[in-house]
Amino acid sequence: MPESFDLTVRGGTLVSGQGLRPATVGVRDGRIAALLPPDEGAIAAQEIDATGLHILPGIIDPHVHTRHPGVPEREDFASGTRAAAAGGITTLLEMPISKVPSSSRNGVRRRLAAMQPAAYIDFGLYGGAGEQNVEAIAEQADAGVVAFKTFLQPPPPARLDEFSGLWCTDRDALPGVMREVAATGLRHAFHCEDATMYAGLQRQLEQAGRTDGLAHAESRPPLVEETSVKTMLALAAETNAALHIVHLSSPRSAAMVVDARARGLNVTAETCPPYLFLTEDALALYAGFAKCNPPLRKAADVAALWRFVQNGTIDVVGTDHSPFTAEEKSRGFENIFLAPSGLCGLEILLPLMLTAASDHRLTLPQVARLLSERAAEVFGLAGKGRLAPGADADLTLVDLGAEWTFDHRSALTKSRANMQAFDGMRLRGRVVSTFVRGARVFHEGEITGIAGHGRFVSRARDLRICAEDLRILRR
């Protein structure tokens, strides 16, 4: 007698890091129960016809700033997770910056209580590790964070409350912070730019009357990143840290990662779509709407960075989704240094990478590794990132033949204007449906899920919200 399932997805081609194969996905109780030959019969309460589509393991974005609860006109967690679902993302990892920063046990719990009822997809939280809260690092791990983040730069003066416990500018204190994180067994992410160097270069440019868009790139040349990466690799060797370098933009930084791994260091690296699909020329056109840190690079650097994506040096690609209002970003047309840094990308990450596959810069298995499988491995997300029996039924169905032109006005993020540097790009590959634990949350341009379906993903607790946090959520 045929097996019985809650849901079957038939007719599609599965994409994993190992290759492509036709199969029927059988889902039971929110998990993949079986991968059946396409001609094998099955009984299902619901059957989805995926003929002509490719099925990827649900996309994991390891670097997101919705900053919820924070400034809702920029983004809230409902709008952010809806945008993620539209981009085929089934799990996001939220950075600790917030009006309620997750830099203590209480901060983690308060953010969780604010975020889970609004979540359309699953999510994890980074903890904050700074010189101000060393004693709170272990308790954040106990509260369920999946990794830690440290800024090596001082926060913007107007946003001190959002960055509480998240930065360490004292080089004498930094090894102690890193050892405390290493003791938790979790990965330690760093924003690598040398603050002294870029502050001095910016002053020189401003004194020379340079406040145009390209001045931002000139104030933070690749050396600013590379100097910081070199320092962090040396400290990782000293402290036994599991180092994660976020938004890596320089090919020379990537080469240092290769060398560090050869020396036995536990180091992983992430890059972001702006460093692969835009160049510094966008700063001249879009000013603040193309401003991010590190800044966009020259075309030669972009081409060289792609080689490190292709050879596996870069482990994951995340969006560094950073919402700001159009008014805030437009200040860059007057003076680039007045605009906040950061672009949005939840809805364009996967289409861009599918386009790269169409252009033969990547294979589809490499896309699955970069956007799903490797992120689950790096951050210890049990049940995520795999098309395999027992894994969560997180599925992203895509039409590889769909050709379309990106227009930021169609995006679901509240900060859609902050995606306009991608306007006019011809893309090949479109998200058709997104399933989170067997529930379809996005289909054919429409959100079909409900707020609150998303769950807190915790490495420490095997994807379950502990009883104490459930009590908090129900208050």
Listed in sequence order, the residues at least 6 apart from 130 whose beta carbon sits closer than 8 Å to its beta carbon are: 103, 150, 151, 165, 166, 167, 168, 177
Residue 315 burial (CB count, 10 A): 22
Residue 353 pLDDT more than 90?
A: yes
Strand partners, 442: 434, 447
pLDDT more than 70, % of the chain: 96
Residue 87 pLDDT more than 50?
A: yes
Predicted confidence at residue 2, as pLDDT, reads 83
> How deeply is 474 buried, as exposed, middle or buried, from its count of CB atoms within 10 A (0-12, 13-18, 19+)?
exposed
Predicted confidence at residue 468, as pLDDT, reads 45
**Which three-class secondary structure state does DSSP give residue 351?**
helix
The Cα–Cα gap between 66 and 68 comes to 5
Per-residue pLDDT tens digits for 312-352:
999 999 999 999 999 999 999 999 999 999 999 999 999 99
Predicted confidence at residue 162, as pLDDT, reads 81
Nearest to 216 by CA among 292, 278, 329: 292
Predicted confidence at residue 473, as pLDDT, reads 40
Per-residue pLDDT tens digits for 219-246:
999 999 999 999 999 999 999 999 999 9
pLDDT band at 156 (very low <50, low <70, confident <90, very high): confident
Q: Which domains does the chain have, with CATH numbers?
A: 58-381+402-425 (3.20.20.140)
Strand partners, 132: none
pLDDT band at 36 (very low <50, low <70, confident <90, very high): very high
The Cα–Cα gap between 326 and 334 comes to 14
> How deeply is 468 buried, as exposed, middle or buried, from its count of CB atoms within 10 A (0-12, 13-18, 19+)?
exposed
Predicted confidence at residue 158, as pLDDT, reads 78
Nearest to 371 by CA among 83, 15, 115, 13: 15
Residue 1 pLDDT more than 90?
A: no
Cα dihedral across residues 154, 157, 159, 161: positive or negative: positive
More confident residue, 153 or 49: 49
**Which three-class secondary structure state does DSSP give residue 9?**
strand
Predicted confidence at residue 205, as pLDDT, reads 98
pLDDT, average across residues 111-116: 96
The Cα–Cα gap between 331 and 339 comes to 5
